[in-house]
A and B are shown apart, each in its own frame.
Chain A
Amino acid sequence: MYKKIINMLGNIEANVIQRTSDNAFIPKDEDNTDYQEYLEWLAEGNTPEPADEETE
């Protein structure tokens, strides 16, 4: 499973996605083998968990 990450400094989506099984942060780089696995997972019809919202 994966989860989106928000960069709260600019409230924008970070350039990484979190793999929830081991809490690793995977960059959105198509030469990264973990990101290639994520893209395959997406292609199978899966959807990542939404990012946490900033708490005021």
Chain B
Amino acid sequence: MTSKINALTGSGGVAIEGDSSGILEFQSNGTTVMTVSSDSQTALNRIINGNMMIDQRNAGSAATVSSDYTVDRWKFQEGGSGGQVVSVQQVTDAPVGFSNSFKLTNTTASSSITADAYNMFWQAVEGLNWSDLEWGTSDAKTVTISFWVKASIAGNYSFAIRSSNNDRSYVAPYTISSASTWEYKTVTIAGPTSGTFNTDNTKAIQVAFTNSMGSDYTSSGNNAWQSESKLGATGTQVALTNTINSTWQVTGVQLEAGAAASNFEYLQYGQQLALCQRYYERIVNTTAQAALADTYANTAGSPVPTINLAFKQTKRAAPTMALVGTFSTSNTTGSQIIFSGENTFSAYFLAAAIGRSFWYPNASSGWSADSEL
């Protein structure tokens, strides 16, 4: 229950209801616009890219994955002996007010939901962005997660949170009432007073949406903190992977302090991209960066010029670096990264022989810096 201040249309006026919850909803003709409680904060959402808008890795292209990051900050993992094959993609099908959603499609159905089967779409929240919630202490605060979800098969699905080292888990079932229809869900979770929840630049919690989970991963009790590492709700769940071309989509994921869900916290595109780049960044341009490195090699195998580039965002930790796309080269034998730190990296190519040597990234090519949790 909540207290409400509701601005009416039609006959007009303001309707006011009061109760003892300590939570106040501001409504426009019955639709909640804002919720205020003692836990309310200005920056609401602890989930980054909850509206699935940023997709640095795939730019909206479909990918077949068993364990990989998809849209920024979100990772999909599937496994088990059922044999399903899953395609994931950022798509533009979304509920009103959103531009994108994440979509998974089971391109090859599993033969059965084996005990070791798992399908999870998850994001880890960094401890520096979670420590104020005091999880694992007697002051642990309540949180609420809200999201829009759609699936080709109606029924029960699962949402889960696990602690830093998986010594605690909380699994909540949610029900999709109508197939192929966007539905809004909320889950309120009392903060755990024990368990390991890191408060530094490492993982505090893992937030996961799961389906078709095998019995190895079934919680011993729904809607309660358990001293175990489980991801699927107990009780009947939809075996989504048993149906070829079945789909599941989600967007508008918001995890906030307090016992009630607020409207989704929209950030400007650049703000959201910057938050994502703390964990993953592509150093690329849409045009070739000609004449980036050009020099005369005095010996074969010597480094031809070293470049030092700064990241756009300080990374959570020194990132893993990789080349992206293709490079134009002359008189080179290979490339190397020789330094990776939180703010900069250094790279060079090796000269094949004495003489002029140059290299530069082609269009949409360069490097990736991965510092995910």
Contacts and interface: CB of A to CB of B under 8 A. Distances in A.
Interface of A: 5, 7-9, 14-16, 18-19, 22-29, 31-35, 54-56
B36 interface: no
Contact of A54 (B201, B302, B320, B323): B302
A27 B202 contact: no
Contacts of A32: 317-320, 371
Is chain A's binding surface mostly helix, strand, loop or mixed? mixed
Contact of B322 (A8, A25, A27, A54): A25
B368 to A, nearest CB: 9
Contact of B303 (A9, A24, A31): A9
B341 A27 contact: yes
B299 A31 contact: no
Interface in B323-373: 323, 336-341, 348, 350, 370-373
B320 A56 contact: no
B338 A16 contact: yes
Interface of B: 201-202, 299-303, 306, 316-323, 336-341, 348, 350, 370-373
A49 B339 CA distance: 19
Nearest to B203: A33
Nearest to B323: A23
A26 B320 contact: yes
B339 A15 contact: yes
A24 B321 contact: yes
Contacts of B306: 9
Contacts of B323: 23
B320 A9 contact: no
Nearest to B373: A33
Nearest to A53: B301
Given A31-B202, A55-B299, A7 B338 contact: yes
Contacts of A22: 322
18 contacts: A7-B339, A9-B338, A14-B337, A15-B318, A15-B339, A15-B341, A16-B340, A24-B320, A24-B321, A26-B320, A27-B318, A27-B341, A29-B318, A32-B317, A32-B319, A32-B371, A34-B370, A55-B299
B320 A8 contact: no
B7 to A, nearest CB: 49
Given A5-B338, A16-B340, 18 more contacts: A5-B336, A8-B301, A8-B303, A9-B338, A16-B338, A22-B322, A24-B370, A26-B320, A26-B340, A27-B317, A27-B320, A27-B341, A29-B340, A34-B370, A35-B320, A54-B302, A55-B301, A56-B300
Contact of A14 (B201, B319, B339): B339
A37 to B, nearest CB: 10
